[in-house]
Amino acid sequence: MSDAPHLLIPLAASPSAGCQQALRDLSLPHLDRLLSRMTPAGMDSGEETDFSPPHERALARALGLACSAQGITPWAAWRLVEVGAKGSESTAWAYITPCQWHVSADHVTMLDPAALRLTPDSSHELLTILAPWFAEDGIDLYMDENDPARWIARGDVFEGVATASLDRVIQRDVRAWMPLAENAEHTRRIHRLQTEMQMLLYTHPINDARAQANLPPVNTFWLHGAGRLTAPPPLPQVPPRMPLTLRDPALREDWRGWAEAWRALDAGPVAELEKHVASGGRALLTLCGENNAQQWQSVEPGWGRRIKRLFTKAPRLQALQKQL
């Protein structure tokens, strides 16, 4: 069904007690009707400790990329394929996201990089400061013109590195999620570089200027989406649609905001897909949680299954959340 619309919803549910409470009063009529017109098409089971969350694994499969629960999906290299960059297959690439770690007696917590409010100019200024240090380890840094909050890096050190998604690390202790490379020397180089950036930025004037502007300091970086993409798959005819409106409230554990975002999602993209399926169109729906992802597809069943569905109640999100 590569030409069928595919709606992929990250963080559709959570085992959090706050999420379960929010689900009790959450009405999603379009989702309920959509699920009644679809049949299960597979489950991806994982663990909350996987470096790659279910929505990233589902997206990778939909794009034809190699995916791993342990964080070896070359997202940065794929980004270069999307924009038509030439020669990206010759080496390994990674995303570098400037961030702030809050260090306490027993935790090293990553705060949401969005709170840094980096602009294209401030991001470029920071990159210019840090680039020479990265270059000493054979790493070239480039701006991502569509996202000032992250950079794209090139270097052999990113070959075979397992990296945790930002969605796994934000508001959590980073020590359980540090990058791991097949080559132990590469692991040491990456960890050393992160430490060096903390020392460099701790007293750097750029953070003095940020403090005067009432902006939080940048004190290190996060590495993610690393790897080499030697044989890029063709761009999909219909790219998966992955709205991120549930992401921020879920990561903040703002379950009231998450429920409001779900209602808006139900009235928007979900309602559009429901209308498409009701008119006989083919489609895929993937709901992702912290651990697992469940996919449904619209298929034309035989008469026996069609009659059975008339008497079978479609699952609601409240029932599905334990599976996600």
Q: How much is the pLDDT for 307?
A: 43
For tokens 């379009």, name the residue.
30
Helix H segments across 205-289? 205-212, 247-251, 255-265, 271-278
Distance CA 94, CA 228 (A): 9
124-158 tens-digit pLDDT: 999 999 999 999 999 999 999 889 999 999 999 99
| Average pLDDT of span 235-260 | 93
| Average pLDDT of span 226-248 | 90
Q: How much is the pLDDT for 134?
A: 96
Q: How much is the pLDDT for 63?
A: 93
CB of 21 closer than 8 Å to CB of 13: no
Residue 44 pLDDT level (bands cut at 50, 70, 90): very high
Q: How much is the pLDDT for 90?
A: 82
Distance CA 137, CA 157 (A): 8
| Average pLDDT of span 172-181 | 92
Given a cut of 80, whether residue 322 has pLDDT beyond it is: no
CB of 245 closer than 8 Å to CB of 251: no
CB of 34 closer than 8 Å to CB of 90: no
Helix H segments across 53-183? 54-63, 75-82, 120-135, 166-169
Across 145-181, b (16+ Cβ under 10 Å) vs e yields: eeebbbbbbbbebbbebbbbbbbbbbeeebeebbbbb
**Coil, strand or helix at 210:** helix
| Average pLDDT of span 95-122 | 94
Average of per-residue pLDDT values in the chain: 89
248-302 tens-digit pLDDT: 999 999 999 999 999 999 999 999 999 999 988 999 999 999 999 999 998 765 5
Distance CA 17, CA 299 (A): 35
Higher pLDDT, 314 or 182: 182
Higher pLDDT, 87 or 321: 87
Q: In terms of pTM, does the model score above 0.75?
A: yes
Q: How much is the pLDDT for 71?
A: 77
What is the pairing mode between strands 284-288 and 6-9? parallel
